[in-house]
Amino acid sequence: MKANQVLEWMEQINTIKKYGKITRIVGLMIESYGPSTSIGDVCYIHSKTTNQRPIMAEVVGFQEEKVLLMPYAAIKNIGPGCLVEATKKPLLIKAGRSLIGKVLDGLGNPLDHSTLPKGLVSIPTDQDPPNPLARPPIRQRISIGVKAIDGLLTVGKGQRIGIFAGSGVGKSTLLGMIARNSEADINVIALIGERGREVREFIENDLGEEGLKKSVVVVATSDQPALQRIKGAYTATAICEYFRDLGLNVNLMMDSVTRVAMAQREVGLASGEPPTTKGYTPSVFASLPKLLERTGTNEKGSITAFYTVLVDGDDFNEPIADAVRGILDGHFVLDRALAEQGRFPAINVLKSISRVMKEIASDEHIKAADHIRSLLATYEDNKELIQIGAYKKGASRDVDKAIQHYPAIINYLKQGVNENLSVDQGIGELLELANRSDG
């Protein structure tokens, strides 16, 4: 390095640290007088206890001359008069191939408290979505390994799908099947707002050893502060973007985007935003598109994203479900009634849609899928008459055909948790079923 470069580098070093001072703590919000900082910057709050490490916090707003901070971790031994140190930088995380197989917290640190591998690069968690004109169209299908999806709801590389379901209908099981069976190069799984008990169960039972070998898991449990739950979603998305820029095809599975919205609501209400529909603040509906639009294709690789959406009381028109459905490229609806019948995965194919299937499937495939949907819809429309014995055979040729082939269609839609079929096998079975029922 030349002498003038060294002098220039030394001039840029800030040798004076500027501090602010906490004036008030109300609920989740910390107010401080100073330091000079910007929205989204990370600050360190120094405890009055000498042996305690500084607490990381983020600047979420300003009120008059006060800085509003939200901590990433639980607040302990913090009170008025504690010093606040500005870093003048947003949150950065480490990313690299050596993260594969690791389980991280919402800030990108190993959950087992081990040290991060060497050779990782620093990346910001908050990035802009790709330019719309730089997004290649979705033209290639991706094998999911679930017959009902590959056959009737074909997914393309770079597509973004919402999985809508109430609690206990099989969202985690379906995500585990996709993670194990999909042909993507790498999975990034974000467990946001999950119960602590379920994290290890998901990793060991649903994901399994084989699934973990090609996955990075990011965990922010329900007991973590709201900001860390939000950052868990942003951290997982940033890791996906890193691998996409290497030219890989990445699967992002986020469970659930509803809990990210709930955490954003907590932050918004604490910082003084007015509540709107069902108490959600305006920032929730502004931040959702920014997060969800970051996935998809770019000129180097693709991120195929699956976002689970919790629906309160199985109300599929609640505000978050409605907003997410309008942003994404399709949705799978998991039906509680189907789960109660023992049909897994409990995907209601009549209420589900893949908006890019017409662009990536062959004409023969689309015709077969439409035929099977038509038979299923005909049976469902006449289900009550059939079950009570009011329908007389021969009254309608279409209904007769639907009744005849309904068991075979249901058998096609069922799949064991450990059963893995390629996209060609799934489509092949669908074509065979359609040919049999079209006679």
- Summarize pLDDT for 144-189 with one digit per residue, the tens: 999 999 999 999 999 999 999 988 888 888 999 999 999 999 999 9
DSSP string of 257-271?
A: HHHHHHHHHHHHHHT
Average pLDDT over residues 62-83: 88
Instruction: Look at residue 156 in the predicted model and tell me its pLDDT.
Output: 96
Q: What is the mean pLDDT of the chain?
A: 90
Average pLDDT over residues 405-428: 91
Q: How far apart are CA 375 and CA 285, in angstroms?
A: 38
Residue 372, pLDDT > 90, answer yes
Residue 243, pLDDT > 90, answer yes
At 416 the three-state DSSP class reads coil
Instruction: Look at residue 106 in the predicted model and tell me its pLDDT.
Output: 93
Of all residues in the chain, what percent carry a pLDDT higher than 90? 64
Residue 10, pLDDT > 60, answer no
Architecture of domain 364-438: Up-down Bundle (1.20)
Q: How far apart are CA 219 and CA 241, in angstroms?
A: 18
Average pLDDT over residues 211-233: 93
User: CA 162 → CA 31, 81, 249, 305, 329, distances in Å?
Assistant: 37, 46, 19, 8, 8
Q: Which two tokens stand for residue 147?
A: 């017959």
CATH topology for 93-361? Rossmann fold (3.40.50)
Residue 313 pLDDT grade (very low, low, confident, very high; cuts 50, 70, 90) = low
Residue 3 pLDDT grade (very low, low, confident, very high; cuts 50, 70, 90) = low
Q: Is the peptide bond before 130 cis (omega within 30 degrees of 0)?
A: no
E strands within 166-232?
186-192, 215-220
CATH of 18-89, one of 2.40.10.170, 1.10.8.190, 2.115.10.20, 2.160.20.70: 2.40.10.170
**What residue segments make up the domains of the chain, in order of their start?**
18-89, 93-361, 364-438
Q: How far apart are CA 241 and CA 125, in angstroms?
A: 10
CA 207, 212, 214: angle at the middle one, nearest 5?
Answer: 125
CB 208 within 8 A of CB 180: yes
Q: Per-residue pLDDT tens for 18-47?
A: 789 999 998 889 999 989 899 999 999 998
Q: How far apart are CA 37 and CA 42, in angstroms?
A: 9
Instruction: Look at residue 1 in the predicted model and tell me its pLDDT.
Output: 53
Q: Per-residue pLDDT tens for 134-147?
A: 899 999 999 999 99
Average pLDDT over residues 312-339: 88
Instruction: Look at residue 113 in the predicted model and tell me its pLDDT.
Output: 85
Q: Per-residue pLDDT tens for 74-127?
A: 888 888 889 999 988 999 999 999 999 999 999 999 998 889 988 899 999 999
Residue 5, pLDDT > 80, answer no
Other CB atoms within 10 Å distance of the CB of residue 135 = 16
Average pLDDT over residues 215-232: 94
